[in-house]
Every structure is written in C-alpha cells, then in structure tokens.
Amino acid sequence: MLERHIQALITDDPGTETPAAGRERLKGHFPAGATRRMTTLGLMVGSALAELDPGEDDAIVYASSYAESRALESFLDSFPAPSPTLFQTSIHPSAVQQLLIGRQAAVRELLPLSGGALFAFHALRAAILSPAPRVLLCGGEERGTWLLDHGLASERTFAFAVSLRRERQSGALGLMRLVRAAGSGELGLGAWFDLLHARSPFTGLVAPGWRMEIEWL
C-alpha cells in the first residue's frame, strides 16, 4: 500500500472562459511584464503552484496530456506570415518551468509526465514514491480548437496543484492511497481533476492491478 497525506489543494476550473479573459484574471498573480509570453496553461498551473510556494527541498510532479497545444495552434494560425512572438510562446518551457524560471527558483526534483490513458495514475504513483518530504503534484490542460478534430488537444481547460506529505500535519485535508487489487481500470487527468476540485471521496480501479482511494477529512 502506498499513501500520502493531502496537505493543501488548489484547483482552477474556468469553464468556457476565453484565454484572454483568463489572462486578465490571473495576470495579477505575477510580476508586471512576466505574463507577456506565458501560455494559458502556464498562467493557470503557475498560479496554483505559486500558492503552495515551491521550495528547493520539494519535488514537483507535473502531468499534462497536451501541454501548450493552444499556443501551437495560435502560431500555426499566423501563417503564411508566422508571428515571432507566437513562435516564442509555442516553444516556451512547460507550465511549471514558466513559474520557476521567473522566480529563478530551484527544486529538488522535477518529473514531467505525459502519455496515454494511464499517465495520471503514473503521475500519482511517482508522487507517492518520491523520497522528498513534500511533493507538489500539479497539472492541467488547455482547451484546443482545430487540433480537437485530430485528437491532439484537450476538450476543456483546468489546472490543479496538490501538496502531498508522508506524515500527517496539522490542517491536513485528506489521504490518497494506492492499493494492489485485482482487475483493471483507468482514470483520465480530467476525471482526476474533477475528484480533486469537488473533493469527492473515491475508491476504484485506476490501472491494471491498482485501486485508488481518496479520503477527505
């Protein structure tokens, strides 16, 4: 059995908010001028993660299926006169790095994960197995436009950051546990976000041979 205590949780579910509106809503969380080339996902994940104040002893596990796909769409839409600014945004470091570079902050470990149907489970397992005293598990997606037709973008925008510790401390919110179990299942990143956002208790198979349990205090 693998488990970590949920010490703090930040979620952002903007619904149908436009990228421009999201940028306006979140820009106050960063120093003036810092947001000019940040992506929507960078603003959202960075805002959530900043509230947990990552430090050099922390490990960060970052999960996103499509990352900055919206920024890539915008750059490709600028052809046949490609925009240098949109090009820079489309190749910008990941959402987590956009925050850390701006702060010139070091962390103990940064593990970015992406991939198929089980990668949310792999991200959670990596966070629980990390030897760091505190692990910040974060992630999210940007809602795509025309890349949706090709299965290369997310259908929704969201972001989260959760602080996990081995030992329960004062003010703990809950407990996450992975347990060996018979059977098979999967849990996408969007469904995982919904559980966190609603703080819903959960027991169910999330990967072949693994059951996840979430208890809220």
Domain coordinates in residue numbering, the chain? 2-216
Q: How confident is the model at residue 93 (pLDDT cuts 50, 70, 90)?
A: low
> Is residue 91 pLDDT above 70, yes or no?
no
8 A C-beta contact, residue 40 and residue 22? yes
CB 138 within 8 A of CB 117: no
**Between these two residues, 40 and 6, which has the higher pLDDT value?**
6
Residue 92 DSSP label: P
CATH of 2-216, one of 3.40.50, 3.40.1350, 3.40.47, 3.30.2130: 3.40.47
Is residue 190 a contact partner of residue 104, using CB atoms and an 8 Å limit? no
> What is the distance between the alpha carbons of residues 67 and 44, in angstroms, rounded to a whole number?
12
Number of helices (H) and strands (E) in the chain: give both, helices first.
Answer: 7, 8
Taken in order 52, 36, 157, 138, is the CA torsion positive or negative?
A: negative
Residue type, position 207, single letter: A
Nearest to 7 by CA among 161, 168, 185: 168
Query: What's the rounded Cα separation, in Å, for the pair 146 and 75?
Result: 13
Q: Max Cα separation, the chain?
A: 57
SS3 for 14? Answer: coil
The separation between CA 26 and the C-alpha centre of its own chain, rounded to angstroms, equals 16
Peptide bond between residue 80 and the one before it cis (omega within 30 degrees of 0) = yes
Which stretch of 77-86, 129-138, 161-170 has the lowest confidence by average pLDDT?
A: 77-86
pLDDT score at 90: 67
Gap between the Cα atoms of 195 and 201, Å rounded: 7
The pLDDT of residue 92: 63
pTM for this entry: 0.90
